[in-house]
A and B are shown apart, each in its own frame.
Chain A
């Protein structure tokens, strides 16, 4: 079989409809299995030239597996268990490795979620971006003209010299755009985008989305766009396919899916984006935690948090929103005592809080932290019982029977089945782990809970459930919560008060109903405008 040349295109089955456009990528009835379980289950996707199809679903839905299968690649441990994947008429899952590589060089490219993890840190950006056209013999080793053209097109700074930098010398958004440049460099017909903006801030996300949209449009590329964020997908895709647990749930034109989803699951995904604000009430409250003109940082002379003053009322939720690097997590570390403040003070229940070593057991108990990644927040060698039971023993000195009773009560309060009590963290899902973390914090019966991006590692529906739980617990126990998040949707749904942080300073602070509805500061407006919505044409308006 000749390797590079396209084979004669087979005629497609007639029931696919007369006049169906010729199709560049045809995934038919694909089954991929791992460890005896099918993780992609009889899914068919057809991609016409120039068409953008969005694949949406939660983690474990099989989106990435499907996207990689389009390149004829299966992750180690995955097995092709049925169906075909045809790229430009060739069955890529049965192609010999060498022929497959040649086909990929000319026909398909892949943009991964984390550019930082995908670039080789020891090579210059241009060398990596231009590798494929060089390997396929189309360009010389250092084709400066091509590099410059690509970087210009993606609006990267100093296109003539950008490629000479190393990956760590550019920002995350720039690196993500450089990866799009890498995909375009080989002039493919199909690009698979695998969550290319998930790791980015909302304002950075908009820039990347815009260059992706322009690249697709100007070259008439076909694309598979994989994301868990329906709003993002709806801005780019012509058609949307909803996946769940490896199976196809629903598919249709973007407008139809967004306006009239047919299945319960698709409706729940869309519903999450439609929910609106809790009205912030302006009633008087007594302050429980006061942050007064706090400055703090890690390196000498470099303050990550600058003169921040905030007040948390008893039984209220204060959302601290901002992009990564805005200093919001550092503020949490200062409040918890993990990082001493350079300047200013943190007052709690009437007294000034010292750094961690100086805090009394009671102060430690009344201020509890829930961390971002449940995967590393739980000791993998302690069972759920030990994890939740330890603060009870330490702070209240309870005996085994009383501890057991309280642990079970906390499991019930965090809506975890009692049968989980002897499980190890390894066998819990992400959402369950975060519930255990919340239960561990509540075990100390705190007055103030500091939640640092507690849902950013979770899927949308799980996030929704966790926020619902936290809301109920907050009202039942009249907890005061510092809710740190980059997600304005969550702040709007959950918080009474909102503080917006930018470059280490609070730029706006007030009731959620005011700040998020009638923002006074320009940065808050930028931030709000950058949150993707389901409205058709949102992206075009944002970047017009």
Chain B
């Protein structure tokens, strides 16, 4: 009962975040990069959350930062799932050398530390948003592949899949009708988890200067830009950090709730 209330609150928060991300250009009081006042001003009516290190309105930057971070993280997660799940199901359905090739390839990719890999690729290819999404998706899809393959192999061992095999069904039938519906709860839960990892990963990339490029706002970059303020007892760097934390906690709490719900035994009619 208690966890349901908590999940509802977290769900509400995520809805707010999504709305803020979509509506940021319309509801933000100032422009994304507009210099509105002096740096690190106090919280006033004109600037409800103060200003940042260059004197831009903090509330505006937070709205845009959330928008950019959520957009890139969501895009990257979605792409990693499409790629990872499709390859994983290919491996599970055809097994044999296709499975070996894909699985060992993923092993090789996973043996390279993610952050270092991302830093190298991004410093060569530049950090436009499409490149950022592609690199993050490619790195994350290896983890998705691992999970989806394990789930699919379990399903492939069940009798109803054997029946479909005996009928001579094709790959798309297996993917769409036999496997996907039966692993959906686990994949959805993993999606939420991967999304929050992606948001954190993007924030660390931005913090290192290889994420979303200034002057565009993103949460990780904002922490870095305003880091010095912490020495003066100003809350500016804490706000984007808090936002990252809240999004992560909310998404994970929802995932947790979903997992627990789907783990409950199905009541027989």
**Hey, which bits of chain A sit against chain B, CB under 8 A?**
35, 336-338, 356, 359, 361, 364, 368-369, 371-373, 376-382, 390-391, 394-395, 426-427, 440, 444
Contacts and interface: CB of A to CB of B under 8 A. Distances in A.
Interface stretch (B42-50, B72-80, B139-147, B155-163): B155-163
Contacts of A35: 267
A4 to B, nearest CB: 36
Nearest to B168: A364
Given A364-B167, A378-B160, A379-B177, 6 more contacts: A369-B162, A369-B166, A380-B182, A394-B168, A394-B169, A440-B163
Nearest to B160: A379
Nearest to B178: A379
A391 B177 contact: no
A395 B178 CA distance: 18
Interface string B149-176: 0000000001110110111110000000
Contacts of B158: 376
B168 to A, nearest CB: 5
Contacts of B267: 35
Given A364-B167, A381-B181, A390-B167, A371 B159 contact: yes
A73 B178 CA distance: 39
Nearest to A379: B160
B163 A369 contact: yes
B160 A338 contact: no
A376 B160 contact: yes
Contacts of A338: 162, 165-166
A356 B167 contact: no
Interface residues of B, number: 18
Interface in B175-225: 177-178, 181-182
Contacts of B268: 426-427
Nearest to B269: A427
A376 B163 CA distance: 11
A339 to B, nearest CB: 11
B160 A336 contact: no
21 contacts: A338-B165, A338-B166, A356-B165, A361-B168, A364-B166, A364-B167, A369-B163, A371-B162, A371-B163, A373-B159, A377-B163, A379-B160, A379-B181, A381-B177, A381-B182, A391-B167, A394-B167, A394-B169, A395-B167, A426-B269, A427-B269
A381 B266 CA distance: 13
Contacts of B167: 364, 390-391, 394-395, 444
Contacts of B269: 426-427
Contacts of A440: 163
Contacts of A372: 159
Contacts of B166: 336-338, 356, 364, 368-369
Contacts of B165: 338, 356
Contacts of A380: 182
Contacts of A390: 167
A378 to B, nearest CB: 6
A378 B160 CA distance: 5
B162 to A, nearest CB: 7
A218 to B, nearest CB: 41
A179 B182 CA distance: 36
A418 B266 CA distance: 25
A382 B162 contact: no
Contact of A377 (B159, B181, B266): B159
A426 B266 contact: yes
Contacts of B177: 379, 381-382
A382 B166 CA distance: 17
B262 to A, nearest CB: 13
A117 B268 CA distance: 23
A381 to B, nearest CB: 4
Contacts of A382: 177
Nearest to A391: B167
Nearest to B161: A379
**Which of B168, B169, B181 has most chain A Cβ within 10 Å?**
B168
Interface in B118-160: 158-160
B138 to A, nearest CB: 31
A56 B60 CA distance: 73
Contacts of B266: 426
Contacts of B163: 369, 371, 377, 440
Nearest to B182: A381
Nearest to A395: B167
Contacts of B169: 394
Contacts of B160: 376-379
Nearest to B266: A426
Contacts of A377: 159-160, 163
B25 to A, nearest CB: 41
A379 B182 CA distance: 8
A156 B166 CA distance: 44
CB-CB nearest 8 A-B residue pairs: A381-B181, A377-B159, A379-B160, A371-B159, A427-B269, A376-B159, A376-B158, A364-B168
Contacts of A426: 266, 268-269
A376 B150 CA distance: 18
Of the listed residues A338, A376, A427, the one surrounded by the most CB atoms of chain B closer than 10 A to its CB is A376
A369 B161 CA distance: 12
A364 B266 CA distance: 34
Contacts of A373: 159
B92 to A, nearest CB: 16
A361 B169 CA distance: 10
Nearest to A387: B160
A382 B182 CA distance: 10
Interface string B246-269: 000000000000000000001111
A17 B152 CA distance: 63
Nearest to A368: B166
A359 B160 CA distance: 19
B43 to A, nearest CB: 52
A376 B156 CA distance: 11
Contacts of A336: 166
Nearest to A441: B163
Nearest to B267: A35
A453 to B, nearest CB: 12
B26 to A, nearest CB: 41
Nearest to B265: A77
A394 B168 CA distance: 9
A426 B266 CA distance: 8
A373 B162 CA distance: 13
Nearest to B181: A381
A336 B168 CA distance: 12
Contacts of A364: 166-168
B68 to A, nearest CB: 37
Nearest to A77: B265
A24 B14 CA distance: 61
A373 B159 CA distance: 8
Nearest to A34: B267
Interface in B16-74: none
A364 B158 CA distance: 19
Q: Interface centre among A373, A379, A426, A440, by most B CB within 10 Å?
A: A379
A372 B162 CA distance: 12
Contacts of B178: 379
Contacts of A356: 165-166
